A = this chain, B = another copy of it.
């Protein structure tokens, strides 16, 4: 019927996610996106609509890939606390890895930079955070069932406590390079459960 696309849409979104993640929304120009995706501006606008829409797609992709990986770590074999620790360690090491560019958590970056200005971004990040909370809640519940975690307190409340500490650590990791300091806070969190 017509000329087919010369690019793989998934690859393009992944490349765009990488660029937005690294430089933020305002810090990324449409030319940056053209360069990292390999698309010309006309293809990019024809396919996705514009910078904002592509950013939303990138956030979606982050949820499908990186957040999914966090959740997989939470559902891996092991005790509840081992699984919580594995997830936090994984993120922390990612945050501190200079080779990855110290770009942090894309969802958190979006929450801080864009959520107040764009309701769609706010909704997308909210969905990611809510999903993480749910998964944490399930792990805490499992820990309570085995007696590993005190059953007296509400699982949801404990999950939210872990989640807050987790994102707080990721904030601190932006200016704190000492892994052992952050690591000890992970252990304090688990000890408090």
- Contact between B169 and A184 (Cβ–Cβ < 8 Å)? no
The interface bits of chain A over 149-177 (1 if a CB of B lies within 8 angstroms of the residue's CB, else 0) are 00001000110110111111111101110
- Contact between A112 and B104 (Cβ–Cβ < 8 Å)? yes
Partner of A160, one of B125, B157, B181: B181
User: Is A108 in contact with chain B by the CB < 8 A criterion?
Assistant: yes
Q: Complex formed: what's the CA distance from A153 to B167 in Å?
A: 23
- Contact between B157 and A185 (Cβ–Cβ < 8 Å)? yes
Q: Complex formed: what's the CA distance from A175 to B112 in Å?
A: 9
User: Is A143 in contact with chain B by the CB < 8 A criterion?
Assistant: no
Q: Complex formed: what's the CA distance from A166 to B171 in Å?
A: 10
Residues of B near A174 (CB, < 8 A) are 111-112, 115-116, 122, 125
- Contact between A185 and B171 (Cβ–Cβ < 8 Å)? no
Q: In angstroms, how far is the closest chain B Cβ from the Cβ of A112? A: 4
- Contact between A157 and B188 (Cβ–Cβ < 8 Å)? yes
- Contact between B161 and A164 (Cβ–Cβ < 8 Å)? no
Q: Complex formed: what's the CA distance from A103 to B114 in Å?
A: 10
Of all chain B residues, which has the CB nearest A156? B184
- Contact between A188 and B160 (Cβ–Cβ < 8 Å)? yes
Of all chain B residues, which has the CB nearest A187? B157
User: Is A126 in contact with chain B by the CB < 8 A criterion?
Assistant: yes
- Contact between B185 and A160 (Cβ–Cβ < 8 Å)? yes
The interface bits of chain A over 1-39 (1 if a CB of B lies within 8 angstroms of the residue's CB, else 0) are 000000000000000000000001011000000000000
Q: Pick 9 A–B contacts, CB within 8 A, sort by A.
A: A102-B116, A112-B174, A115-B174, A122-B174, A129-B176, A157-B188, A164-B169, A164-B189, A168-B171
